[in-house]
Amino acid sequence: MYLKRYTIASFVLMVLVGWYVYAYVTPESYSLSFFGINLPAVSIALLVVLPMFLLYLASVLHMAFYSLIGGFKLKKYEKDYNKLIDAVCDAFLEKERGEYEFKTDRYRLLGKLVKNSKVFPHTQNLLDIENEKLKNIIELIHKVRNGEVVNLKKLNLPPNNPLVVQNNKNRYKKGELSAEEILLNAKNYTEEFLREVFKDFVKEASGEKIMKYYKEFITKEALFTIIERAASDEQALGLSAEDFVELIRSVELSPKEYIKISKMLAKGMMPEMRLKIFELLSEENDDAMEAYLYTAFDLEMIDLADEILESSSPEEFKNFRAYKALKECNQNYNIDLFI
């Protein structure tokens, strides 16, 4: 646009100068010779204009050269700008940051800052952003945060990506994924999410299905949910004493938590199975011995309790020894006072 204006102005000036020289200075012509060769006669006015035309050509070439250089620089800035947008998108999505090679110093600095920073967008304030790519990413993040389900496949995010985890939770809450479907495809989900799902799963799943998945996903909370179900209806799960032992062994428990399980099972489990569970547990884990002794006293199996106390050190189980001594003196106290 400016080159066009410059060209028009230059030609107007050359025409005016040529006309002025021809009309007011001299209309004569002049013949030039080079190396003995005489050239045709040319108007002096044209000879005056010729240097101006050559200067015009030189200036146009100069401007074109620097315009080309400026174009290359501008192209670098445009490419770096697009790379920076990609880097910001990756940061928003919490993707593993790739290596973006910036050609300009300013964008190289910004790229380094973005790569080594945690960027958490306040999506509500950025929904009207002008850049289309950023806007789409921000809208997607906003929907996931608000409990909506979106398609993330095109983003190629790993299963442990926070956005993918939240989106899967949204799908689970909306019923698009069942607990068992998630557990069957465990490799596609994070360990934390799988354990949360398993906690819900054990609330209604059969004992057979619980035993199928428990090794990988059981938690202390899930275990106590299973125990609570067994205590309310022993036949609902259809688990054997050995099955309960496997479940309990898979979680690290304190002596008091073993006793807690015994108390819970006392509400609805048959005494024989309850006792067998803690007998098996105590054979491999000393932390379960107090619960076994508690169960024996609670079931009024005094001979068994005496046998356990006699085979242990006098320094052990002092609380239960005190309970036994009081009981021998016909002092009936609740065993729960001694745990």
148 vs 96, residue with greater confidence? 148
Contact call for residues 265 and 301 (beta carbons, < 8 A): no
Q: Which residues are within 8 A (CB) of 255 and not within 5 positions of it... i.e. 6 or more apart?
A: 287, 288, 289, 290, 291
Q: What's the CA gap between 28 and 96, in Å, rounded?
A: 79
- The residue among 101 and 222 whose pLDDT is bigger is 222
Name the nearest CA neighbour of 156 among 226, 96, 76.
96
Amino acid at 169: K
Question: What global pTM score does this model have?
Answer: 0.66
What pLDDT is stored for residue 102 in this prediction?
A: 81
Q: Is residue 53 part of a domain?
A: yes
Q: Which domain holds residue 44?
A: 1-32+40-91
Q: Give the pLDDT mean for 93-118.
A: 81
Residue 262, in any domain of the structure:
no
Residue 338: pLDDT band with limits 50, 70, 90:
low
* More confident: 34 or 215: 215
Instruction: Say if 165 falls within a structural domain.
Output: no
286, part of any domain: no
Q: What is the pLDDT of residues 58-85, one digit of tens each?
A: 888 888 888 788 777 778 888 888 888 8
- Bridge partners (DSSP) of residue 81 are none
Q: If you average pLDDT over every residue of the chain, what do you get?
A: 85
Q: Is residue 175 part of a domain?
A: no
Total structural domains within the chain: 1
Burial 297-309 (b: 16+ CB within 10 A, else e): bbbeeeebbeebb
CA distances from 9 to 1, 5, 19, 24, 48 (A): 13, 6, 15, 22, 17
Does residue 70 lie in a domain region? yes
99, pLDDT greater than 80: no
Asked if residue 127 belongs to a domain, the reply is no
Question: Is the pLDDT at 110 greater than 90, yes or no?
Answer: no
In the numeric block, the tokens 């949204």 are attached to: 170
**pLDDT value for 149:** 92
The verdict on residue 5 lying in a domain is yes
